[in-house]
Amino acid sequence: MERGQPGHLLGTDELGRDVLTRALYGLRLTLMLAVLGATLGLLIGGTLGLLAGMVGGRTEAVVMGAVDAQIAVPFTLIALFLLTVLGNAIEVMVIVLGLAGWEQYARIVRAEVRRLMRLPFIEAAHCAGAAPLWIASRHLLPNLVSPLVVQFTLSLSSIILLESTLSFLGLGVQPPTATLGAMVGVGRDYMPTAPWIVLVPALFILSVTFVVQILGDWLRDRADVRLRSR
């Protein structure tokens, strides 16, 4: 382990590997897992929310009951259980991360669909004999793009933190494959003698989540007509 020097600007780790290079590689994998997980959550939650909003009745009650159950239980405990039972392969990580925020998409889509279904152009489409699938694809989905894009960016930061937490606990992607959380988890044993092993990936996590959060806030302001008019 060495401090920063011309060949290794941010130092090396316990095995002599360049910390900056591994942090950049870990950032790429962390972002890939976060994007895939957020996309899966968008598909699951968006589909269930659309179904609940359009069908209503028992279907809506079941979907919203599942949403309430997801909110009531800390998801970190669910993730720990799933990774312990199913293993920690990358495919399993994507599924676990995808289940992390689907309820937020479901709530947003269900509420927006319920609002849209009462508008005159939807009622006109019903009177014209349009099929539900046609109404969903031509009228509902275009009006859902803005809130879903905003929620997607906002959920990325929480998924990045969840993946980093799981990797820090040793339940994420296993070494020698590098993720930012795994680097922090391995480097904690060397904090007294080589703090840069932990500080570099931790600063990467902080910076990425901050940038993604700012991007989500900006998109929310741009998508909200009332805020944009101010």
DSSP 42-105: HHHHHHHHHHHHHH-HHHHHHHHHHHHHHHHS-HHHHHHHHHHHH---HHHHHHHHHTTSHHHH
Of the pLDDT bands very low, low, confident and very high (cuts 50, 70, 90), residue 39 is very high
Average pLDDT on 109-125 reads 83
What's phi and psi for 178, nearest 5 deg?
A: -100, 130
pLDDT at 71: 87
> What is the structure's pLDDT at 3?
58
pLDDT at 90: 84
pLDDT score recorded for residue 226: 46
Residues 48-61, mean pLDDT to the nearest whole number: 87
- Inter-axis angle of helices 196-223 and 180-187, nearest 10: 150
Report whether the peptide linkage leading into residue 176 is cis, meaning its omega lies within 30 degrees of zero.
yes
The proportion of the chain whose per-residue pLDDT surpasses 90, expressed as a percent, equals 6
The pLDDT value given to residue 5: 57
What's the fold here for domain 19-229?
Answer: MetI-like fold (1.10.3720)
Q: Where are the domains of the chain?
A: 19-229
pLDDT score, position 40: 93
Residue 44, classified by CB atoms within 10 Å of its CB into exposed (0-12), middle (13-18) or buried (19+), is middle
User: Taking 80 as the threshold, does the pLDDT of residue 75 lie above it?
Assistant: yes
Taking the CA atoms of residue 56, residue 61, residue 67 and residue 70 in that order, the dihedral angle to the nearest 10 degrees is -160
**What pLDDT does 1 receive?**
55
Q: What is the pLDDT of residue 225?
A: 47
